[in-house]
Amino acid sequence: MPRLSSLALAAFTAVANGVALQPRETPGPIINFANNTGTPKHLASGILYGLPDNQTQIPSALLSGFGFNYGRAAGAQVGHGWSWSQPEFEVGHLFKSALSNYQLTRSHNGGFVLLLNDLWGFDTTQNSSSLAPGDNGDWSSYDRFLARLVQLINSNNMKAGLVIDIWNEPEGSAFWNRSIDQWLAMWGRGQAFGTNSVLLSGPTTAGQPSLSYNWWYEWASFVSSNASVPDQYVWHEEAGTGSSLSKSYNGLTQIQAKYKLPKKQININEYAIYNEEVPAGSAFWISQLERINAIGLRGNWLGGTKLHDFAASLLSKPDQNNYAATGYFTNGDYQVYKYYSQNMTGSRYGTSVSPDGIMDAYTTVDCGHVRCLMGVRPPATGTYSVTFNNLSSLGLRTSGSISVRTWKFPVASDVHFGRVDAPIDLGTLSHSYSNNQLVLPYYSTDNVTTYAWEWQV
């Protein structure tokens, strides 16, 4: 007899725990095997900060294990930036930290985003008297700052794979707290960084693109009129359930049409709030980013030296309060990214998010091995139907049965810092299908755990 799969196990667990399943399944994601969307590049495997300055502190295998391929940093919260004191900047820690993180990221063939606002010293630690670029109409210090950064980038051989983020989240008081006009004037100066070997990204807003959002449409008008369109369009998706990547993507498309902006690579260089950085949430975000071919970097909700550790909450260690301590181990969320980067190879296939926007799926096929990673966005739970269409495109008959293996991705009692060494194999269960379509029920009974299905064609 086949072992009990998560399809049955989750249902049994829900009943045993007194959780009433919905009388009908909510329509969930649809996977179309007639729509091959290309080779996986594991676009969602980047991180914001999360790397110690000691490049060997985290074992390289743990970084490559989750597919680490994009970093973003600049020494935030551990020293003073240019605006505090130029001499202190020259001998201080910020650029050295940025350089170390850049070198470590490049050793994994990753792209690296350099945060100019952090190097300037606007990293949430600045005081009310700190001067921003262009205050009182004076741009002289900022111009010297940019010139010095060009020298440092050149002298340290930092051009390869480098992306310049001119300023982070300018709408909020934490990083800018100045007018749109002053920000745009700064953008006009900063975009001179762009060369064939160094990319520019922006506008890097906390808010999402929309024709009704002034920080976006005024920026779009500005860059369109003076030919300062960046190489990557960037915004953040960290509004919890108020954040919708499909809505944001539609907003960008409308802005591009109105202001005649070209298509460019999208980089969501901060995604997911802290309670979404669990297996269910990460699987959801991976699916969202892959659908629109967007690069994605996990948000980082730690502070101080912890911001520079733990690979953006994918790793832990016994002495979590000792920045220099080692002994790293993986958490439950890490296992999702490991599966995603190491197992989901071959070809991607088109998927659609559930109509309610809560459940999503990412699917690949490699040498006849189908893998589908799914996630219900926290804090939601529920029962969904997942539909696989056009099975004949994989060489299957239009009706028959398929033996599906289920992998469970749990967390420890300490969700972010507890140890989880591997997903759990829940075995296989045979499922009948007809009309060239397989429909499976997915039971989400908590807001952290997620599952993947596999079968061999």
| Domains in the chain, CATH or no CATH each | 6-39+346-456 (2.60.40.1180), 46-341 (3.20.20.80)
- Report the pLDDT value the prediction gives residue 216, as an integer from 0 to 100: 98
Q: What's the pLDDT tens digit per position in 336-360?
A: 999 999 999 999 999 999 999 999 9
Tokens 């179309």 — which residue?
A: 32
Do residues 267 and 234 touch, judged by C-beta distance below 8 A? yes
- Residues 83, 350 contacting (CB under 8 angstroms): no
Place of tokens 């802005």: 255
Split at pLDDT 50, 70, 90, the class of 139 is very high
CA–CA distance, 422 with 443 (Å, rounded to integer): 21
| Cis upstream peptide for 379 (omega within 30°) | yes
Mean pLDDT of the region 312-332: 98
- Mean pLDDT score of the chain, rounded to an integer? 93
CB distance 330 to 314 below 8 Å: yes
For 180, the token pair is 């749109």
Distance in angstroms (rounded) separating the CA atoms of residues 128 and 131: 8
In this predicted structure, the answer to whether residue 8 has a pLDDT above a threshold of 70 is no
Residue type, position 141, single letter:
S
Alpha helices in 24-178 (DSSP H): 60-65, 86-91, 94-107, 116-120, 140-155
DSSP 314-342: TEE-S-TT-TT----EE-HHHHHHHHHHH
Average pLDDT over residues 320-346: 98
What is residue 24's predicted lDDT score, i.e. its pLDDT? 66
Residue 314 near residue 331, CB atoms below 8 Å: yes
Q: What is the pLDDT of residues 149-192, one digit of tens each?
A: 999 999 999 999 999 999 999 998 899 999 999 999 999 998 76
Cα 172 to Cα 349: distance, rounded to the nearest angstrom: 38
Of 62, 43, 7, 25, the closest CA to residue 314 belongs to: 62
Residue 31: pLDDT above 80?
yes
Report the alpha-carbon distance of residue 250 to residue 222 in Å, rounded: 20
Distance, in Å, from the CA atom of 176 to the CA atom of 117, rounded to the nearest integer, reads 9
